[in-house]
Amino acid sequence: MRILVVEDEKKVASFIKKGLEEEFFIVDVAYNGKEGLDLASTEEYDLIILDIMIPFIDGVTLTKELRKRKIITPILLLTVKDSVSDKVEGLDAGADDYLTKPFAFEELTARIRALLRRRENLMSNILTAADLKLDLVTHKVYRNEKEIILTPKEFSILEYLLRNKNKIVSRTKLIEHVYDYHFDTDTNVIDVYINKLRNKIDQGFNKKLIHTIRGVGYIIKED
């Protein structure tokens, strides 16, 4: 899944980005409110982590502007301010959660998972298609109860395909969700990863789950 981090302290931003990437998230970073607004308005994200004290446009004002633009992406506010009135102001502006600095990274990831579950109304951390299972918490994948070892990029691609099960997903959409916005969309790297996934997911099984829709994209079909 793809997350936007808006944080002007570069060390903090780097810490969050590195940690989330280790948790198999794709992360873009903006260092001020204006850049954050531009990215959040033009790119598709599953979650926005937003520091309140940022240049040009502060986090609360940015949250209000995003909601005004009908952008419903969950927003998690980060700030050193810990008074009840500060939290109320952020939540009333349209934020979904609030975390005070300094914070434990484990708490940050737990809050992220909770927000993502709430957004998609998931009752489980398991995505499935036929006998294929993907665990969003342990990052493990099984086919017919046999564990399949995937790289982080392979996991991210498979996760997005499973979230869109029985729907065609274009190469462009896959690139947007597994790479940052600087990535060259003309590359054939997605096709390479799909072939690797097929070899791991479908090889040796009678029922093939990953299908190519020529000239359009890919689909996981369980019917």
Residue 134 sits in a domain whose CATH number is 1.10.10.10
DSSP string, 139-189: --EEETTEEE---HHHHHHHHHHHHTTTS-EEHHHHHHHHS-TTS-TT--H
As a whole number of angstroms, the distance between CA 141 and CA 188 comes to: 25
Show the tokens assigned to 64: 């209000």
Domain boundary among the residues 82, 103, 120 is at: 120
23-63 tens-digit pLDDT: 889 899 999 999 999 999 999 899 999 999 999 999 999 99
Counted domains in the chain: 2
- Domain with 62 in it: what CATH number? 3.40.50.2300
pTM higher than the cut 0.75 = no
Amino acid residing at 29:
V
Instruction: Mark whether 88 and 13 lie in a shared domain.
Output: yes
Q: Is 132 helix (H, G, I), strand (E, B) or coil?
A: strand
Instruction: Mark whether 116 and 6 lie in a shared domain.
Output: yes
* Ramachandran bin of 103, using left for φ above 0, alpha for ψ from -120 to 50, beta for the remaining angles: beta
DSSP state of 43: S
* Enclosing domain of residue 156: 126-220
Instruction: Mark whether 113 and 145 lie in a shared domain.
Output: no
Q: DSSP E strands: which ranges in 42-168?
A: 47-51, 75-79, 97-100, 126-129, 132-135, 141-143, 146-148
Domain boundary among the residues 75, 90, 120 is at: 120
Instruction: Mark whether 59 and 82 lie in a shared domain.
Output: yes
Instruction: Mark whether 181 and 84 lie in a shared domain.
Output: no
Instruction: Mark whether 82 and 187 lie in a shared domain.
Output: no
As a whole number of angstroms, the distance between CA 56 and CA 188 comes to: 38
Residues 137-149, mean pLDDT to the nearest whole number: 91
Q: Which of 47-61, 94-108, 155-169, 173-187 has the lowest mean pLDDT?
A: 173-187
As a whole number of angstroms, the distance between CA 131 and CA 125 comes to: 16
Instruction: Mark whether 104 and 143 lie in a shared domain.
Output: no
